[in-house]
Structure 1
Amino acid sequence: MIFGQRSRARAAAAARAAERPAEPDIDSVQPVARTVAETVPPGMVIAGAWAWRLLLILGVLGVVAWLVIQLEYVVIPLFLAIVLAALLVPISQRMQRRHVPKWLAVAISEIGVIVAVGALVYLVTTQIIGQYDSLRAQTLTRYADLRGFLTDGPLQLSEQQLNDAYAQAVDAVQRDAGALLSGALSVTSSLGHVLTGVLLVLFSTLFILIDGAGMWSWVVRLFPRLARPAIDGAGKAGWTTLQNFVKVQVLVALIDAVGIAGGAAIIGVPLAIPIGVLVFLGSFIPIVGAVVTGTLAVFVALVYNGLTQALIMIAIVLIVQQVEGHVLQPLIMGSVVKVHPLAVVLSVAAGGMVGGIAGTFFAVPLVATLNSMVKHVASGAWRGQPEPPPPAVPADAAHATRRPNPRKPTR
């Protein structure tokens, strides 16, 4: 009996063992396929994460650049007003610290700029009108010399060939009279845009001088609360850099203009004051502006004074530019605008491609300001800073908006 039970138990155990799956051979097991994300190397994952974020940033910057180009008649005067305000705000604040009323300090700063620009225009116009007769005579003389060089020089052109070329030029002008008329209308329209832009610059500068801090506080409050200290600190750092850049650039441009215009006046080159004004304006475009305006000064000396004075003018321009490049730029500009010279050249080139002359003018201050803002955010100096306070409300406005307390009815 017991023997039979043991046999049945062994049979049941054998049956259960037969039903149990066999142990797999480790060498014959095929690896389970992983997901695609798991097969990507970690370095590629990090590069992809950076790539789409950079593409998003570039897309946003592209949209902003497109909007700036479309609204150039508003954006350019606004940028110019900001640059001008960066120069005038310290002057206005200095007068206010000496107990000058704010409205008077703002008025003196704004009117001072208008008077300075008007004085420059008056000096340039006066010199051009005063030297018109002599310039006209010298121009005709140089034209005759050019014709003589073309006929008697290596080219050996005949008078008939020169007259035919002149007649062809006149015919081309007459055929393109319609284009010239449309160009004149375009110039008229451009003059209207220029006048509108001048008014926008003056009004924008005025309001920045009056309430620039309040407008910036309003801009900061558009951002999330946690980001406000970083935005406010970056904006203040960029504004400080822009102020220093404008002050130093005005000093450097003034030294360049006085040096080149003074040298031109000493050797008797005509239009010394207009040349100085062009050099002053061109110096705000680093590297490129000085070369272009210096070349113009040499060309005027060559046309109206001859080869000897032109060579002397080249020496004057080179000396001034060497002083700027090796003395003024490292000692004065280098401590303010910490941007590599290659970055300056590339920014000027990119600004010229995008915005023309205005782009070359605003490229370097924009790059310097953005560089300062990015460095401030990356440094983390804004962490732990309190949220900037809301813009102050004038006492009269606060009193006007305060609700009067109703009087308690008397019994």
Structure 2
Amino acid sequence: MTRPSRRKTHQAFQNAFAAPAGRSAGEDVPYALRVSAAWSWRVGLVIVVSGVLIWLLSHISLLVIPLMVAGLLSSLLTPLVTFLRRHRFPNGVAVAATVISFLLVVGGTLSLVGQQLAVGFADLWDEALAGIQQIQDWLSDGPLHLTSAQIDNFIDEAATAVENNSGMIVSGALSFGSSAGYFLAGLLLTVFALIFFLLDGERIWRFTAGLAPRRARAAVAGAGQRGWTSMANYVRVQILVAFIDAVGIGLGAAIIGVPLVLPLTVLVFLGSFIPIIGALFTGMVAVLLALVANGWVNALVMLAIVLLVQQVEGHILQPFVMGRAVSLHPLAVVLAVAGGSLLAGIPGALFSVPVLAILNTVVRYIAARSWETDPALGAPAPRHPEPGTAPAPTTGELTEPDTSTKEAST
């Protein structure tokens, strides 16, 4: 093939795949496919950034978890600080009185629980030993008909297994000691952050919102305020739900004679801050105590009480009380708790629902452009324009200057 013929073939090949004159290649792509592609890379970018953020937060959990706990506590205690300020208490005095009162209540409750544990644990230990003896009697006199030598052999094997894994037990004890040190450091950081959140929370938020671009500051400030309100509503309602769960299970345990009622009630109250499943898992401790102390029948009654309280929370408290406070469906709550526990364990299960409530409020606020009509941000009240006139620009919108009059005059 000669060189001119090769050139003609190459030119024909280019013309066959070249876009027609005046048209781009993108115009031949279906509109739905272009929209899907645009959404795909944006969603992918959000997923990647979220994954990197979660990975980063997991490596600084010692810093993040105390700050999040301090944020939840400050949303709970802010109304008390505001009340004291309105009654002419200086800001520092109001914050100090609030924090000290909170620490005294928590410390007094834990001290009372410790006393109850010290008094009741000895009796519970004796009952546990008696229960073990009953199990041994059942193994020898029951349908298994095990001999005393076989039972002793099982006990010796268990003791040997403990001795063989003594290194793991020691390392676990050392790990517990290290975790206790981390817990103490986190507790001090939580109290320190709580004081400054109550003292200068508004100033800290104004500084944070001021870091956003000028055009986005109103949206960031308004969304943050709404998110804070949503978190405060969640904390208050969750305290009510946890109180009802704790009273229900604790009262039932007291009626049927389960030991350590007060420590059990406090445990259920704390566990109920993990929605829906928290009261169920901590209630299993009450079932175990009833089994050890009072036998199978008492344990089954306690199990029925725990399931009843869990059903009340899942079908009444969560849909009607919590749902109205933070506008979250119970299915979303369950999925958030499950996802949070998979990603970050107990802290993830604890903070997943308030984080989801904040995100839900913030996204709705921004999607509706509510900062443009938010009086808290200085937006003017909405006015109905007169017929034949354009509506006045709202806060946050940029308008082009009217140059028609100037051009006409020139």
In 2 relative to 1, CA 325–178 (structure 1 residues): closer, same or farther, beyond 3 Å?
Answer: closer
Verify: 1:218 aligned to 2:207, yes or no: yes
* Greater Cα shift, 297-306 or 276-285: 297-306
Q: Deviations over 1:45-65 (max 9, x none)?
A: 111111001111111111110
Equivalent pair of 1:253/1:279 in contact (CA under 8 Å)? yes
User: Which of 17, 34, 39 pairs up with 1:45?
Assistant: 34
For the residue of structure 2 that corresponds to 1:37, the secondary structure is: helix
In 2 relative to 1, CA 149–45 (structure 1 residues): closer, same or farther, beyond 3 Å?
Answer: same
Amino acid at match of 1:125: G
Q: For 1:85-100, what aligned pairs fall within 5 Å after superposition? A: 85-100=74-89
Instruction: Name the CA distance, whole Å, in 2 between partners of 1:133 and 1:283.
Output: 28
CA RMSD of aligned residues (A): 2.0
User: Residue 385 of structure 1: CA displacement?
Assistant: 6.0
Match of 2:176 in 1: 187
The percent of aligned pairs where both chains have the same amino acid is 46
Greater length-normalized contact order (CA 8 Å, ≥ 6 residues apart) = 1
User: Residue 387 of structure 1: CA displacement?
Assistant: 11
* Greater Cα shift, 114-123 or 326-335: 326-335
Q: TM-score, structure 1 length as denominator?
A: 0.83
Structure 1: 5+ residue stretches without partners: 1-29, 390-411
User: Residue 384 of structure 1: CA displacement?
Assistant: 6.2
Amino acid at match of 1:190: S
User: Residue 328 of structure 1: CA displacement?
Assistant: 2.9
For the residue of structure 2 that corresponds to 1:186, the secondary structure is: helix
Amino acid at match of 1:117: V
User: Residue 107 of structure 1: CA displacement?
Assistant: 1.1
User: Residue 36 of structure 1: CA displacement?
Assistant: 5.1
User: Residue 90 of structure 1: CA displacement?
Assistant: 1.1
Instruction: Name the CA distance, whole Å, in 2 between partners of 1:187 and 1:307.
Output: 33
Structure 2: 5+ residue stretches without partners: 1-14, 379-410
Q: For 1:227-306, what aligned pairs fall within 5 Å after superposition? A: 227-306=216-295
Match of 1:208 in 2: 197
Instruction: Name the CA distance, whole Å, in 1 between partners of 2:142 and 2:87.
Output: 69
Length, aligned pairs only: 360
User: Residue 307 of structure 1: CA displacement?
Assistant: 2.4
Whichever of the two has the greater Rg, that structure is 1
User: Which of 64, 70, 74 pairs up with 1:75?
Assistant: 64
User: Residue 146 of structure 1: CA displacement?
Assistant: 1.5
Instruction: Name the CA distance, whole Å, in 1 between partners of 2:153 and 2:163.
Output: 15
Instruction: Name the CA distance, whole Å, in 2 between partners of 1:298 and 1:185.
Output: 31
Instruction: Name the CA distance, whole Å, in 1 between partners of 2:373 and 2:120.
Output: 65
Instruction: Name the CA distance, whole Å, in 2 between partners of 1:310 and 1:385.
Output: 55
Instruction: Name the CA distance, whole Å, in 1 between partners of 2:249 and 2:376.
Output: 50
User: Which of 152, 158, 161 pairs up with 2:147?
Assistant: 158
Match of 2:366 in 1: 377
Match of 1:196 in 2: 185
For the residue of structure 2 that corresponds to 1:335, the secondary structure is: helix
In 2 relative to 1, CA 36–153 (structure 1 residues): closer, same or farther, beyond 3 Å?
Answer: farther
User: Residue 72 of structure 1: CA displacement?
Assistant: 0.5
Equivalent pair of 2:57/2:64 in contact (CA under 8 Å)? yes
Instruction: Name the CA distance, whole Å, in 2 between partners of 1:248 and 1:345.
Output: 17
Amino acid at match of 2:227: G
Equivalent pair of 2:268/2:282 in contact (CA under 8 Å)? yes
For the residue of structure 2 that corresponds to 1:334, the secondary structure is: helix
Instruction: Name the CA distance, whole Å, in 2 between partners of 1:168 and 1:361.
Output: 40
Q: TM-score, structure 2 length as denominator?
A: 0.83
Equivalent pair of 1:217/1:388 in contact (CA under 8 Å)? no
Equivalent pair of 1:92/1:105 in contact (CA under 8 Å)? yes
User: Residue 337 of structure 1: CA displacement?
Assistant: 1.9
Q: Deviations over 1:283-335 (max 9, x none)?
A: 11111112112222122112211223223323332333343334433442221
User: Residue 268 of structure 1: CA displacement?
Assistant: 1.2
Equivalent pair of 1:229/1:385 in contact (CA under 8 Å)? no
User: Which of 327, 336, 339 pairs up with 1:347?
Assistant: 336
